[in-house]
Amino acid sequence: MRSTAVLLLSILIPCLSGCRSVLAPEQASTALHVAGPQRDNRASAARAEWETPSQGQVPVLGGITTEVENGQWVVRATIIPRDPSPFYSVSQAGAWSLQLFLNTDQQPTGYADGYEFETGWWADEVEPFAVRGPIPGCCDWGRVSGYAGLQIIGNRVTVRVPLSAIADDGSLNWRLETFSTFACPGCPSGVTAEFSDLYTGTTSVLTANSVPRDAQAGRIPRAP
């Protein structure tokens, strides 16, 4: 019986550390550090070896879903803390923030060879997120094309982006980056941001403008 228990533990322990089903960052090693929410800051500091000193304050985003609702592109995720009590802010040290990039035309233009619109990072949770784009090839994020909203309730985070602000072609590739906010005495705002994790995906977005139609098509009259 003792040998059976040892065998079961030897199978179970690797699964606890490596079998969590989350949409992990492209930097896969960050996901491996998180077997579940950390409640004891001293214990998590001893166990974790983050890729950057401030990465512990940035939660992993798990169970990411995207969909279109009422004319908005909506992304939802579960906040999985690395350290206890993460909070969102672009202006307070010790917080975390996110930035979203949207590829709306499947062309190698804009930011990082494909992303035409961006939102987030520039505002806190209580402020609207300006959506900017199309992003030019250099040196600017583009004009404000609309406003998105961020909502954090408990361990759930939701971002809503109006489709009218991004003019998508029907297949929306998205890139979500998370950052830590930490003190920077030499910066104008007193804080700066450090990249933490990257998530990517694609959402099918069908609108009236993205569905091909016959130029002569119209409403067919009902027969008497």
pLDDT tens track for 24-34 = 333 322 222 22
* Cβ 169 vs Cβ 91: under 8 Å: no
Q: What distances in angstroms separate CA 52 from CA 48, 195, 223, one per listed residue?
A: 11, 9, 69
Does any domain span residue 50?
Answer: yes
Q: What is the CATH number of the domain that holds 122?
A: 2.60.40
pTM of the predicted model as reported, rounded to 2 decimal places: 0.69
Going by the DSSP 8-state scheme, the letter that residue 135 receives in this structure is: P
Does any domain span residue 103?
Answer: yes
Does any domain span residue 59?
Answer: yes
Does any domain span residue 8?
Answer: no
Q: What is the mean pLDDT of the chain?
A: 74
The proportion of the chain whose per-residue pLDDT surpasses 70, expressed as a percent, equals: 67
Does any domain span residue 114?
Answer: yes
pLDDT score for 40:
31
User: 66-98 burial by CB neighbour count: b if 16+ within 10 A, else e?
Assistant: bebeeebbbbbbbbbbbbeebebbbeeebbbbb
Could you write out the DSSP letters of every residue in 102-113? EE-S-SS-SBTT
Does any domain span residue 28?
Answer: yes
- Domain extent, residue 141, equals 22-204
Does any domain span residue 117?
Answer: yes
Which residue in this structure is represented by tokens 């009218």? 164
Q: What distances in angstroms separate CA 25 from CA 118, 123, 183, one per listed residue?
A: 19, 23, 25
Task: Indicate the number of domains in the chain.
Answer: 1
Rounded to an integer, the average pLDDT of 124-128 is 78
The proportion of the chain whose per-residue pLDDT surpasses 90, expressed as a percent, equals: 44
Beta-bridge mates of residue 77: 157
CA separation for the pair 104, 110 (Å, rounded): 10
Which one has a higher pLDDT value, 122 or 217?
Answer: 122
pLDDT score for 72:
92
CA separation for the pair 162, 203 (Å, rounded): 14
Does any domain span residue 16?
Answer: no
pLDDT tens digits, 157-210:
999 999 999 976 667 899 999 999 999 999 998 999 999 999 999 887 654 444
